[in-house]
Amino acid sequence: MVIRTFSRACSGSLGRGLGLRRAIGQALAATAGYSARAVVLALVIAAGGLAVAAEHTQDSLAAVQQAVADQKAVLVDVRETDEWNEGHLSGARSLPLSVLEKGVKPESLTNLLPKNKIIYVHCVSGGRCLKAAELLKPLGYDVRPLKPGYQALVEAGFPAVVGQ
Spans of all domains in the chain: 2-50, 61-162
Nearest by Cα to 132 from 87, 59, 76, 66:
76
Q: Name the residue with higher pLDDT: 41 or 77.
A: 77
The model's pTM is: 0.69
Nearest by Cα to 152 from 17, 43, 35, 56:
56
Q: How far is CA 15 from CA 58, 59, 131, 155, in A?
A: 28, 28, 17, 37
**pLDDT band at residue 63 using 50, 70 and 90 as cut-offs:** very high
**Domain 61-162 indexed as CATH 1.20.1050.10:** no
Spatial distance between the Cα atoms of 57 and 111, rounded to a whole number of angstroms: 24
Helix (H) or strand (E) holding 77: strand 73-77
Spatial distance between the Cα atoms of 17 and 101, rounded to a whole number of angstroms: 9
pLDDT at 142: 97
pLDDT at 54: 85
pLDDT digits (tens, 9 = 90+) for 98-129: 999 999 888 889 889 999 999 999 999 999 99
Nearest by Cα to 146 from 20, 154, 49:
154
- Would you tell me how many other CB atoms lie within 10 Å of the CB of residue 22? 16
Residue 147 above 80 pLDDT?
A: yes
**Cβ contact 76:121 at 8 Å:** yes
